[in-house]
Amino acid sequence: MKMKKQLTLETDKKTAKEGEFIDIRWHCSMCPDSLMLILDSGDRTDRLVVSDSGSTRIALPNTKGRFHITIEARCGKKKTREEVAVRVLNVRSSKQKAKSKVGRFKLWSEKMHAGWCVFCAQSKYWWLSQKKWQKALWMILFALWLGLMTLSICKTTSGNLAAEKAATAYIIK
């Protein structure tokens, strides 16, 4: 007499294109304490607590070749697992690749904007936490720095002008 499997996991496809939907079905006949569905794309792992039997439909993400689906049942200290791997075919065209580069720039710019907002908020908090004499000291230091920068820029340009006049006068004589 052959014993029936206590934990089963099935998908409707073994190979699919990225973005395509696949159906996942599972059944557990051993009344587990917990039953978890684990979806692993290689970049990201999602863990979902599920009922003893059921099904779900998911879209395959952009993965590095394989998408692993695991069902894990725990009964006391005993752990049982069943795994299925779906091969994901990458179907992005050159236009889609170009769009993804624009998408990466957009993600980078959003990340930089978020970082700038955090910096501004922290600076504002820092400024509000300063005492009056500290604020006055920072303003004096800033004014001094600004004055020195202005002086160095003006001196450089006027110094160059004087040197040019002297060179021109020498050539004319």
Total number of domains constituting the chain = 2
pTM: predicted TM-score of the whole model, two decimal places: 0.50
Select from 62, 91, 120 the last residue of a domain: 91
Q: Which domain holds residue 24?
A: 7-91
CATH number of the domain where residue 22 is located: 2.60.40.1930
- Chain position carrying tokens 């395509």: 20
Q: Is the pLDDT of residue 104 over 90?
A: no
Report in angstroms the alpha-carbon separations of 26 from 38, 45, 83, 167: 12, 18, 11, 90
Parallel/antiparallel/unpaired status of strands 78-89 and 15-17: parallel
Domain presence at residue 102: no
Q: Quote the tokens at residue 93.
A: 């065209």
Domain presence at residue 110: no
Domain presence at residue 156: yes
Q: Is the pLDDT of residue 59 over 90?
A: no
Select from 39, 70, 91 the last residue of a domain: 91
Tell me the pLDDT band of 25, cut-offs 50, 70 and 90.
very high
Report in angstroms the alpha-carbon separations of 100 from 16, 42, 106: 21, 19, 9
Select from 91, 114, 148 the last residue of a domain: 91
